[in-house]
Copies of this chain bind each other. A is one copy, B any other.
Amino acid sequence: MNPRPPLELFLRRIVARSLLTEADQDAILSLPGKAIEVRANRDFVRLGEHVTNACLVVEGLVGRFGQNKDGARQITSLHIPGDMVDLHSVVVPHAPAALQAVTNTTILQIPHDKILDISHRHPNVMEAFWRDCVVDGAISAQWVLNVGRRNAQARLAHLLCEMAVRYDKIDRARGLTFDFPVNQTHLADCTGLTPVHVNRSLGALKRAELVSMTQKKVEILDWKGLVDIAEFDTAYLAIASPLEAHEESKHEARA
């Protein structure tokens, strides 16, 4: 329950994209937070709710869920440890979608007013938060393209590529293998497909030996091949991060 380590994870994510002074960084690390546990498939923020905390994912996986009248769900974004799921709520405290834990997860709740406070005291920090929200938006835009104009296999491949890069960023050691605690229904909700069709399309990717996915663990067998099918281009994620060049070459080398 010590809030320090989770905030460091968050800080690492932030400084990967923004230049901050010692003082700026200390301000972020000094943010108070209350850790809570959320069980799988439980909403912890509801649609339309007025929120007063931002939620940092410490452990687990969180999705933003939209919904149809017929009950069809669409996951609008996925958040891994170190992500502030709804940093945007600091400036727009009205939840435009429900937040649900995909697997059992630990969340650190950080009061908006504290975040606003350090933001106004440290303009660099505010800029960094702004930037973080922008990257989030860029990911959403990519998802629109993914869901709108790619076939089932490409959609899945793209999602896997994105998550591979994002997980890799928070845990360099894992490389092209990562824990991804979702079931095929979640994949369907991310890609705008049905679970049955996800099953078949994922099966095709497996048969092509591009990826293996057994019980919540993804292993990318052929990075180049998967990127090719997905038409994946890291740029939208990697923005302003010098790491990405390395990533790319590392992946290439391995593939």
Contact = CB atoms under 8 A, between A and B. Distances in A.
Interface of A: 48, 64, 66-69, 72-74, 76-77, 88, 91-94, 96-97, 116, 119-120, 123, 126-127, 129-131, 133-138, 140-145, 147-150, 191-192, 231, 235-236, 239-240
Contacts of A140: 137, 140-141, 143-144
22 contacts: A48-B235, A66-B149, A68-B145, A74-B145, A76-B145, A77-B141, A88-B138, A91-B127, A92-B131, A92-B240, A94-B239, A96-B138, A96-B142, A97-B141, A126-B127, A126-B130, A140-B143, A143-B144, A144-B192, A147-B147, A147-B192, A148-B191
A68 B129 contact: no
B135 A92 contact: yes
A91 B123 contact: no
Chain multiplicity (copies): 2
Contacts of A130: 91, 126, 129-130, 133
A235 B94 contact: yes
Contacts of A123: 119-120, 123, 126
